[in-house]
Amino acid sequence: MAKSSADPVALTHVAAIHLSATDAVRRAATIAELDAVRRQVLGRSGTLSAIRRTIGQLAEQDRKAVGTAVTEAQRDITEALAQQEQELLDSEPAWPMPVDASLPGIVPGNGGLHPTVQMMYDLNDAFTALNFEVYSGPEISSELFEFDYLNFPPDHPARESMDTFWLCESRGHRGADRLCLRPHLTGASVRYMLSHKPPLRFVYPGRVYRNETTDARHERAFFQYEVLIVDRDVPLTAGKFLVSTILDTVFGHPVRTRMRTGFFPFVEPGFEIDMECQVCGGSGCRTCHGVGWLEIMPGGSPHPNVLRAGGLNPAEWTGFYVNVGLDRLVMMRYGINDVRLMHSSDMRFLSQFH
């Protein structure tokens, strides 16, 4: 690999991955072992893929050299995998029984992504093209991140077990020691701000958990998609653009929206964001209760207390935040009338979206 004045830590890391992966490929004795190496190094969560996602955080003069090193390593490992796979296939013993080539073959079934996962990937691609980072956080969080840092008052009803799943082991504790299944994704905004320097642009998709009564419109576990931008001067029009990006990606055409003032502890000012009903085109129907609009997401500028919790000075930094129920958007996209179908594992339902 060519020498460079780029970040020696990053280059050394790439070289180490390159060497260990090549050695693992040579030692692989089965196709399954080769696949394991491929996933570990080249997969979506692989080691090389992780380095590629951090290139944008390097100094400008280092990015090209590190990017070139990652590309060369990926090419070499891919070639080694293909060569070793062919050698393993060639070494397999011949089929012991005669094969009747005239018999009709068995058509393998086609798999496909869950519609919510496909929607998440579509939105990730749209925001990645706008230079947003895709972030992921823990599903087990704490009262500190999910409520205290988000400006929820101590007596807020969302803190009660009727809304939030608290872990039994943390009963009697408070703050960071009181653990729960994350009831929303908004706590990740503080985690991200504490570990990154502004300006910030990130999206955060994931599953959340609520102590809900299950019906056609509510589930105990569902997906949200959060978008946050933090900069020195973020106008409300930037928030309107974020909403339009989400809806244009979901429905494939521009969708009319409106922003109404609303209260949420973690934003100031806060907005209820509505979209024009896609069933009736805004003329009024049963889906939108005759008003022509559907409420789809909260939004607003991060509250000064939230920025302070993230280590930022609210006099210097501002931003805009939106959080949308991903399952609900999928339901509107495909005309699904019961959210419970989304997580039923019913192949009759899921196979429609291949």
Query: What does the pLDDT look like over 94-143, one tens digit per residue?
Result: 566 677 778 888 887 777 888 888 888 988 988 888 889 999 888 998 88
pLDDT at 4: 45
Instruction: Identify the pLDDT of residue 7.
Output: 58
pTM of this prediction? 0.63
115-353: CATH topology: BirA Bifunctional Protein; domain 2 (3.30.930)
- pLDDT, one tens digit for every residue, the chain (354 residues): 444 445 567 788 888 888 888 888 888 888 888 898 888 888 888 888 888 888 878 887 777 888 888 888 888 889 988 988 888 887 766 566 677 778 888 887 777 888 888 888 988 988 888 889 999 888 998 889 989 999 888 888 787 777 888 888 767 778 788 899 999 888 888 999 998 898 999 999 999 998 877 777 778 888 889 999 999 988 888 888 888 888 888 888 888 888 888 888 888 888 888 888 877 778 887 767 788 888 888 888 899 999 999 999 999 999 999 888 888 888 878 877 778 888 888 888 888 877
DSSP helix, strand, coil percent of the chain (3-state; round to 5): 45, 20, 40
Cβ partners under 8 Å of residue 279, min gap 6 = 285, 287, 288
DSSP string computed for 38-102: HHHHHSTTSHHHHHHHHGGGS-HHHHHHHHHHHHHHHHHHHHHHHHHHHHHHHHSPPPSS---TT
Residue 158 carries which side chain, given as an amino acid letter? A
Other CB atoms within 10 Å distance of the CB of residue 154: 8
Helix axes 60-91, 8-27, angle to 10 degrees: 0
Q: Which of 181, 204, 191, 186 is nearest to 124 (CA)?
A: 204
Residue 12 has a pLDDT of 84
| pLDDT for position 93 | 66
Task: State the pLDDT at residue 95.
Answer: 60
Q: Which of 245, 273, 247, 246 is nearest to 259 (CA)?
A: 273
Q: What pLDDT shows up at residue 3?
A: 43
Report the pLDDT value the prediction gives residue 8, as an integer from 0 to 100: 66
How high is the pLDDT of residue 1?
Answer: 44
Strands 257-261 and 267-276, bridge-based pairing:
antiparallel
Instruction: Using alpha carbons, list the distances in angstroms from residue 193 to 196, 229, 303, 305.
Output: 5, 11, 13, 13
Kindly provide the b/e burial profile for residues 166-193, where b requires at least 16 CB atoms within 10 angstroms of the residue's own CB.
beeeeeeeeeeebbbbbbbbbbbbbbbb
SS3 262: coil
- How many alpha carbons lie under 13 Å from residue 95 in its C-beta half-sphere? 4
CA-to-CA dists, residue 134 to 166, 196, 289, angstroms: 27, 13, 35
